Amino acid sequence: MTHPSKYRSNLAGLILILTFLFVGSGCRMGYLFHAASGEYELLSGAIPVEEGLNDDTLTDEQKARLRLVEPIKKFGEKELGLKETENYEKVYIKSRRNPIYTISASPKDRLSRKTWWFPIVGDMPYLGFFDLEKAEAEKAKLEKKDLDVTLGVAGAFSTLGWFKDPLTLSLIEGSTLALVETILHELTHTTIYVKDQGAFNEGIANLIGLVGARQFLEAHYGPFHPLSLEAQDIIEDERLFSSFIASLMEELKALYNSPISYQEKLIRREQIFERALESFERLKDRLKTNRFTFFGDSGLNNAYLLAISLYHEHFLLFDAVYKRNGDSVKETLKYFQALSEEKGDLIEKVKEILGDEEKSMTTSRGNPLF
């Protein structure tokens, strides 16, 4: 099952190999060398942005996006409170690379992500591959274990500060809005990352990528520029989709927690999947952008929905924190950085802090369809 690029990979790259050699235990040598070699190609082949701007293989439009990268970074650091880094000062343009393919898996009768443990970053809810054949082989291996599996494509990656992340050709070939959002999303991971808290990490980065992109575009082009208006439309679509996906996940949780048999759960979940796709068709009429039109194109299963929900299920919760902090990204980051020192499930802690009213928003607000 494949779907468009809506995911971002936080592979810690070569550091994983080095750590593995020292601590031994539990990691998969072949996978780590594959990840490290793919990332080494990217890092070693990148050139300074200044050189890229003089490269005749790039179009004027691509060069214009390259010139925008430094202002995006400065805005993120000064106005949003993101960590200063040397990321995105280089660009990989020597050849067209394959994307990063992601594999996620889950049991068929419960919403439980299969995770893979790595040194430094802890449990990861997906594997990333630089080679499609290797990704498909891993997918087939997991399916033989009677797991739901989904194969996706990552639009970007972050080494979480271990290396100086370069830009890729796919980023400067895409839309200006996607470039701004992706850079701010990945810089958020560099600023705050909590081990073993995937939904918390991605939820924060998704929020700040979206609202930060809107703020940057409004400051750079003006509030009524088409890009600024599109950024606002995407946030509104995110709220609708988040409510939709949260409601779907709640219904599935209720099913999987029921005392019926494994086979009966599989039968009933297919009925839920069918209704969800019908509901999404109605939801499409209310969406202002094509951001979520990929949903369900190849069918639904638990792994696919968990991969989607990792980024989108709790957006209304994070949005409520942002509003409570005066629509200030800086203050919101401070709030989450303080919270990151706490123990336990940080998503649940946010729900407890916000209280029942805002907690209920994450599953019911604005979605009469499902």
Strand order in the sheet with 100-107: 7-9, 147-157, 100-107, 127-129
6 pLDDT above the threshold of 90: no
pLDDT digits (tens, 9 = 90+) for 220-247: 999 999 999 999 999 999 999 999 999 9
Residue 318: both structure tokens together: 């994070």
Q: Who has greater pLDDT, 167 or 288? A: 288
109 pLDDT above the threshold of 90: yes
Confidence at residue 161, expressed as pLDDT on a 0 to 100 scale: 55
Distance CA 241, CA 284 (A): 10
53: DSSP letter: H
Confidence at residue 125, expressed as pLDDT on a 0 to 100 scale: 77
**Residues near 243 by beta carbon (within 8 Å), at least 6 away in sequence:** 316, 362, 363, 364, 365, 366, 367
39 pLDDT above the threshold of 90: no
**Distance from the Cα of residue 73 to its chain's centroid:** 19
**H-helix or E-strand spanning residue 92:** strand 90-92
Distance CA 283, CA 369 (A): 7
Confidence at residue 40, expressed as pLDDT on a 0 to 100 scale: 58
List b or e across 65-74, with b for residues whose CB sees 16 or more CB atoms inside 10 angstroms: bbebbeebbe
Q: Which of 78-92, 96-110, 222-236 has the lowest mean pLDDT?
A: 96-110
Residue 78: both structure tokens together: 């000064």
Domain ranges of the chain: 7-364
Q: Which of 88-92, 173-177, 178-182, 267-271 has the lowest mean pLDDT?
A: 88-92
**Residues near 71 by beta carbon (within 8 Å), at least 6 away in sequence:** 216, 220
Confidence of residue 176 (pLDDT cuts 50, 70, 90): very high
Q: Which of 12-21, 74-83, 98-107, 122-131 has the lowest mean pLDDT?
A: 12-21
Mean pLDDT, the chain, rounded, equals: 84
